[in-house]
Chains A and B, each alone.
Chain A
Amino acid sequence: MESRALRIGLGVWTALVVAFLWIPLGIIALYAFNGSVIQSWPISSWSTKWFGVAWHDDFLRSSLRLSVEVGLAATGVALVLGTMASFAIHRFSFFGRDSVNFLLLLPIALPGIITGMALNSFFSFAGVALSIWTIVIGHATFCVVLVYNNVLARLRRTSPSLVEASMDLGADGWQTFRYITWPTLSTALVAGGLLAFALSFDEVIVTTFTAGAQTTLPIWILDNLRQGQQLPVVNVVAFAIIALTVIPVWVSQRLTSAGETTVGRAAAVTAQTE
């Protein structure tokens, strides 16, 4: 189809761009094993001592705990609201359906600073003190669409005659849900939930606008980066995050079939506009 030279050129370009994407992650992962406090390249002494320091850092631990709590709460809200919305949108066409789509998509399509600033104005106007719950509300607004997209994609692939057959055989709504709908949906829910958790766990901009005195893990990282403090410990955390984010993405990729390609913010929006 294309000339050989063009194919090779494109292949080389692809390899270079992939290297551009991955070399920074590789370098930061190596710095986690830097024995020195000074960050200079090439690394002169290797050590795993900072892993121990990070493990025993109480403030780091409490930030991690808060991030997990917020992530779980936001994911829970997203699972309930996202599933309800996807069922309604899937089965019924009605006036304003596109508006509902648009409303759910907006928090993830607009830059984080707008979602953050908007929520901040709202809480200030309503006199709501910033707390862990305002962080959860902020995160839930952009997590809903991930669950919604995953479940909607799965519903579209499931034949409606399955549900009808179940009803014909005398099952009531609950039984149909329990034995038919739930088993076909569960993996999509796990995938959507994992992605929602990952997005919440990583979120920093909306969090800075909706957190009071609370410190989530990304805020902890940001504060240390701004002040240039504890960089060896930050390196260890960065290494752990790179290693750990691979897992939820990999699991959710395995749980959804290739056509659903639900990974990523971009994919969330791409799927939506289809």
Chain B
Amino acid sequence: MGVDVAREAGSLRGARLRLSAVLWRRPWLKALVLLVPPVAAFLAVYAASLGAMLASSFWTSDSFTAEIVHTWTLDQYRLIFSLSDPTYLRIAGRTIGMAAAVTVTDAILAFPLAFFMAKIAGRRTRGLLFVVVLLPLWSSYLVRIYSWTTILAKSGPLNWALNGLGLPDAHLEFTNKAMWIVFSYVWLPFMILPVYAALERIPGSMLEASRDLGARGFRTFRSVILPLAFPGVVAGSIFTFSLTLGDYITPLLVGGPSSTLIGNIVSEQSAANLTFAAAYAMVPVAVMAAYVLVARRLGAFEAL
């Protein structure tokens, strides 16, 4: 009996050895076995979803039952790009403008900080700054927006501080300016990180060489640091731009009556008029595709 068990164990081990030998000798087989489940899952769910969204955008919804009518039509896109009623064009323009404003603000806030982290701070300070910049990214996005609704509220800390300094109330609650501040706040770490990565890679010797060649601080910044760090700024701008384009929670919570963005329309219409929501969601996709192509031209991907 003991022998049987041993033989059985032996054959099991033999089978395992044979199997691993087969896989070892044919690495492509192993790769295939490993790759098929995740890729199949992504194609079946995610790529199919994007396809379903694109297809839905060329269909139409019944206005009474909200059922989708599967006839091909450009109606949804006609409505979006309608010049006689430019509501949706205006909202798209506002969204893109907001995304651009947020991106520029974040670049200005992030660059000096990233430079301080990369080139001036010591090891310990740098590590600390890293954690301090990254942690807010992980403490709930909703909580971070909500904190600004309390700060900007009429009887909130901001007006309290202003009044304490003898200044009048700020009246920022439920305005586009509030939306701009909150977007810039929420996405700031996404800008800091790639800019820091780009600056860190500039060798100190280059800055010294620039000074040896007689360049003053500003000249070094303009001719050496900025061109080398620019791809990092572009990489960061992809996040700030794309995340603003697709957000609807911030306008919902801190925006006012004229703060509707693309995301709000998509989320409101997704139940009653899915085909229109799908078509309008293609606008940020198209804008981002164009943006990424330009960014690639500017070398944002090689620098990272």
Contacts and interface: CB of A to CB of B under 8 A. Distances in A.
Interface string B98-136: 000000000001101101110110000001011111111
Contacts of A264: 134, 137-138, 189-190, 193
A53 interface: no
A120 B46 CA distance: 11
Contacts of B41: 81
A17 interface: yes
Contact of B235 (A117, A120, A208, A273): A273
Interface string B238-282: 110011011111001100000000110011001000100110010
A88 B35 contact: yes
A173 B211 CA distance: 58
Contact of A266 (B48, B157, B189): B189
B243 to A, nearest CB: 6
A144 B190 CA distance: 20
B47 interface: yes
A11 B35 contact: no
Contacts of A104: 38, 42
Contacts of B133: 18, 21
Contacts of B130: 261
Interface stretch (B3-11, B75-83, B139-147, B166-174): B139-147
Interface residues of A, number: 95
Given A2-B217, A125-B56, A40 B31 contact: no
Contacts of A85: 34-35, 38-39
Interface residues of B, number: 106
Contacts of A92: 27-28, 30-31
Contacts of B120: 2, 7, 10-11
Contacts of A111: 242-243, 245-247, 263, 284, 288
Given A85-B34, A91-B30, A114 B132 contact: no
Interface stretch (A54-62, A68-76, A179-187, A234-242): A234-242
Interface string B176-197: 0000000001001110011001
A121 B185 contact: no
Interface string B144-169: 10111111010111001000000000
Contacts of A242: 139-140, 143
B31 A91 contact: yes
Interface of A: 1-3, 6-7, 9-11, 13-14, 17-18, 20-22, 24-25, 27-28, 31, 39-42, 80-82, 84-85, 87-89, 91-92, 94, 100, 103-104, 106-107, 109-115, 117-122, 124-126, 137, 141, 144, 167, 172-174, 176, 198, 202, 204-205, 208-209, 218, 221-222, 225-226, 234, 238, 241-242, 245-246, 248-249, 253, 258, 261, 263-267, 269-270, 273-274
